[in-house]
Amino acid sequence: MANPSKKKLDKQVKKLRSKISRHFRESPKEVLNHKQLASRLGIKDSVEKQILIAVIEALIKDGLLGEEQRGKFRWLGAVDDLEGIIAFNRAGNAFVEVHGFNKDIMIPEKYTGVAFHGDLVALRLLTGKGSSGRPKGKVTSILERARVSFPAILFRYNKNFFAIPDNPKITVDFFVREEDLNGGKEGEKVVVSLEEWDDPTSNPRGAVTDVLGMPGDMKAEGDAILAEFGFPLKFPDKVEEACAKISESISEEEVGRRRDFREILTFTIDPADAKDFDDAISFQRLENGHFEIGVHIADVTHYVTENSVIEEEAQNRATSVYLVDRVIPMLPEKLSNKVCSLRPKEEKLCFSAVFEMNEKAQILDNWLGKTVIYSDHRFEYDDVQTILDQGEGLYSDDLKIINNIARTLRSSRLEKGSIAFEKEEVKFLLDEKSKPTDVFFKVQKDAHKLIEEFMLLANRTVAAKVGKKGSDGSTTKTYVYRVHDNPDPTKLKELNEFVRRFGYSVDLSTPEKIASSINALLKSIKNTPEQHILEMLAIRSMSKAEYSVDNVGHFGLAFPFYSHFTSPIRRYPDMIAHRLLFSYLNGGSSASEEPIERLCKHSGVMERKAVEAERESTKLYQVLFMQDQVGEVFDGVISGVAEWGVFVELVANKCEGLIRLRDIDGDYFYYDQKSLSIIGQRTKKSYELGESVAVKIIAADIENRRIDLKLV
C-alpha cells in the first residue's frame, strides 16, 4: 500500500499542475514569476509555495512553460482545447456547455474518458454532428473535479467489493479493495473517496471514508445528501480544539473600544427552532422626538481571525446548510450557538448599523461601527405576530412603532421597483424519531417582514457606504456585493407568452416597467389556482443573484448598492463584508480585487450546492411523508414537463411527483418544448404546464427520493 503522505503529496502536485495549466491556458500571453502565480492561485502556505516551484520546474521540463525572462514564465502548451462543465444523462452520454457555442457539445459515452458528472473538463471537437445537430466532442483531460467523495452502497461480486454511487448520473461503479473498506459491510451506505482513475476502460478505485448506515435510515440518507454535495459530516479535530480555546468573556478593554448599547432596549426575533441568532434590533426614543433603531449583527470576525484554522474551515464551507431534520453550521457549535449567538440576557459583541429615523421612516442619520449589546428578550416570530395583531404584550408600543416604520420602508421599496416575491416554504412537523407527521407552509407575516426590512436596510447601507464615490470624487474601494443582473430578455418573452394564456401580461419595454408589471402580476394572481406555477415561472425568468466585487446593482430589490452583512454566523461573504468595512472605517486602503472575487465565486458555488442539498432533503422527507398515502388520490398542478414525463405538485402538501410518459394510458405521448406540454400522437390530447390534474400515488421510493404518480 502506498505511503499516505506520498499519496497526499502526489494529489497536491496533480491538483496544482492542473490549476497552473488552467490559469495560463486562460491567459496564454501572461508572463508571471512564481510569487505572482502564487498570488493568482491564492497560495499562502510556505509548503505549498515550495510545491509550486517544483511543479513550475516540471512544466518547464515538459515543454509546457517557458522562462520568458529570468524567473518569469509564459505558457508554451496548447490552448486550442475548449472547456466547460460536463453533465451526464442516465444513459452515460454527456453534454458540455461551452461559451461561444449556441448548442451544448455532445460527448458520446465512449469519449467521456475519466470524467464524472459536474467536472470541469477540457475537450476537443470531433468531426460530424451529434443528436439534434449538436457538435460532438471528446474529453481530453480533467481540469477540476467537482467532487472526490461519493455516497454509495457497497455490494460484493464474487470476491470483490464495489460501490454503486447514489447519484444516477455517476454511471460507473467504484472498485474497493478489502483493506480500503474501513469497516464498511455489504449492503451499507458509505462515502467513498476517489483514489485513482486513469483508465476509462476500468473501474475507478475508491476507499470508504465514512460508514453512514443502512439505506432508508433517515440519518444515513441525510448524511449521504451532505456527502453528495461536498459538505463535511463533522469539523476537523484541529478546528474543534481551536474553538475550545476561545474565551467567552468580554474584557473591559474591549468594551471601551466599542459603542455601548447595553442599557438600550434590544431583542431578537427568530424562528422557534433557531439556535444561531445573527441579528438583534435595538430601539429608543430620542429627545428630539425621533427614533433610534439599531441593527446589531454578531461580530464573528472578532473571534474568527484571518489565516486561522477556523477561518480556513469557514471559507471552505462558505455557508450553513439547513436540512429538514438538522443544521450543518458553517462554524462549530461553540461559535455558532454560543459565543457569537446573540442569546438573551447575555452581553455580546456586534458590528452595528444604527439609524436615526422619524415616524415617516425617513433616515435622518446613520452610524456604522463595533458595539456591545445586551439582549433583553428572545422573541419568536409567532410571539411578535400575536403582539402586533392584538396590540398588547411585551414591548407592544415599541414593536408597533418599529413595524409601522418597516411597513413604510417596504411600501417605498416596492414603489421604487423592488419585486415582491413571497414564495411559500414547505416545512415538516417531525416526531421524536424525525419522522414527518404533518406538512405546513411557512407564510411571511408582518413579524417576518419587520426583520426583513431592517436587514435589507442594513445591507444596502453598508454597501452604499463603501460603494458610493465621495463628494471629492474619490474612487470606491473593493467590496463584496450581492448583485442581481437584469433578467434575460428571452426568458422574459417566454414568461410573457405563458402568462398570456391566463389573461395576464408583462410589460417588457424597460427594466422599470418589467419590475412594476411583474409586481402587478404577482398581486393579480394572489389566491388563484395558477398562483404557484406563475410565481415559480416568474422567479425562473430572473437572473441568479451572486456575489461579486463588480457592482451591477440588484434588479430584484431595485437597490444600486447591496451587500450581505447581516448573517456572518451562517454566510462567509458576510464575514468578508465585515472585515472590509471595519478596515475602511478605520482608514484602511482598498483590498486587492482578485482574491476577494475568487472568494465570491467559491461562496456562490457553495451556496448553490447548499440550496440543492436542502432541496434534496425536502424531497426525501416528502417521499417519507407520502409513503403512508400510496394508493390515495390527490388534486395537483403540472409543475414541470420533460421528455420522459410530467411533474405534478400536489395542492394539499406541495409534494412533487412524476408521471412517466409510458404510464399514461390511451395514447403515445411526446414532449412539445414550444408549448411546454405533452401531446398524444393519435388523440392530440395535451397536458401542459399549470394544468390541474387528479393523480394517484403509486410509489414512494426513499432511496431514489422519488414519488411516482398516475393520472386518474
For residues 420 and 373, the model is more confident at 373
Residues 122 and 166 in one domain: no
| Domain limit, last residue, from 144, 168, 191 | 144
User: How many domains is the chain built from?
Assistant: 6
Answer yes or no: is 703 within a domain: yes
Answer yes or no: is 173 within a domain: yes
1 pLDDT band (50/70/90 cuts)?
Answer: very low
Residues 56 and 153 in one domain: no
Task: Give 678-693 pLDDT, tens digit per residue.
Answer: 999 999 999 988 889 9
Nearest Cα to Cα of residue 281 among 384, 360, 365: 384
26 pLDDT band (50/70/90 cuts)?
Answer: low
Backbone angles phi, psi at 27, to 5 degrees: -135, 70
In this structure, the chain runs to a length of: 712
CA-based diameter of the chain, in Å? 84
Task: Give 436-477 pLDDT, tens digit per residue.
Answer: 999 888 888 999 999 999 999 999 999 999 998 766 666 689
Answer yes or no: is 176 within a domain: yes
79 pLDDT band (50/70/90 cuts)?
Answer: low
pLDDT at 130: 58
Residues 374 and 260 in one domain: yes
Beta bridge partners of 85: 120
Residues 196 and 140 in one domain: no
Over 90: is that where the pLDDT of 697 sits? yes
Residues 459 and 485 in one domain: no
In 3-state terms, what secondary structure has residue 119?
coil
Answer yes or no: is 233 within a domain: no
Q: 259-260 and 363-374 as β-strands: parallel, antiparallel, unpaired?
A: parallel
| Domain limit, last residue, from 75, 103, 129 | 75
249 pLDDT band (50/70/90 cuts)?
Answer: very high
Cell of 347: 452581553
CA atoms within 13 A on the CB side of 606: 23
Residues 504 and 541 in one domain: yes
Answer yes or no: is 661 within a domain: yes
Task: Give 292-330 pLDDT, tens digit per residue.
Answer: 999 999 999 999 999 999 999 999 999 999 999 999 999
Answer yes or no: is 473 within a domain: no
What span, in angstroms and rounded, lies between the C-alpha atoms of 380 and 393? 13
Provide the strand spans (E) within 30-176: 32-33, 65-69, 72-75, 82-88, 94-96, 105-107, 120-129, 135-144, 149-157, 160-165, 174-176
Residues 610 and 651 in one domain: no
Alpha-carbon separation of residue 286 from 351, 398, 415, 477 (angstroms): 22, 13, 29, 34
The CATH number of the domain holding residue 15 is 1.10.10
Task: Give 355-402 pLDDT, tens digit per residue.
Answer: 999 999 999 999 999 999 999 999 999 999 999 999 999 999 999 999
Answer yes or no: is 139 within a domain: yes
Contact by Cβ (8 Å): 239, 332: yes
The CATH number of the domain holding residue 668 is 2.40.50.140
The CATH number of the domain holding residue 98 is 2.40.50.690
Contact by Cβ (8 Å): 687, 693: yes
Backbone angles phi, psi at 206, to 5 degrees: -130, 165
The CATH number of the domain holding residue 209 is 2.40.50.700
pLDDT at 212: 95
Residues 543 and 645 in one domain: no
**What percent of the chain shows pLDDT beyond 70?**
96
Mean per-residue pLDDT over the chain, rounded: 91
Residues 183 and 260 in one domain: no
For residues 625 and 29, the model is more confident at 625
Answer yes or no: is 231 within a domain: no
Q: Measure the CA dihedral 526/531/534/536, to 10°.
A: 100
For CA atoms 701, 706, 711, 712, the dihedral sign is: positive
pLDDT at 627: 92
Residues 87 and 185 in one domain: no
Residues 132 and 203 in one domain: no
Residues 589 and 670 in one domain: no
In 3-state terms, what secondary structure has residue 608?
helix
Task: Report the predicted TM-score, pTM, of the whole model to 2 decimal places.
Answer: 0.84
| Domain limit, last residue, from 75, 90, 122 | 75
Q: Which domain holds residue 648?
A: 630-711
Helix H, strand E, coil C: the string for 152-221 is: EEEEEECCEEEEEECCCCCCCCEEECHHHCCCCCCCCEEEEEEEECCCCCCCCEEEEEEEEECCCCHHHH
Nearest Cα to Cα of residue 642 among 656, 632, 629: 656
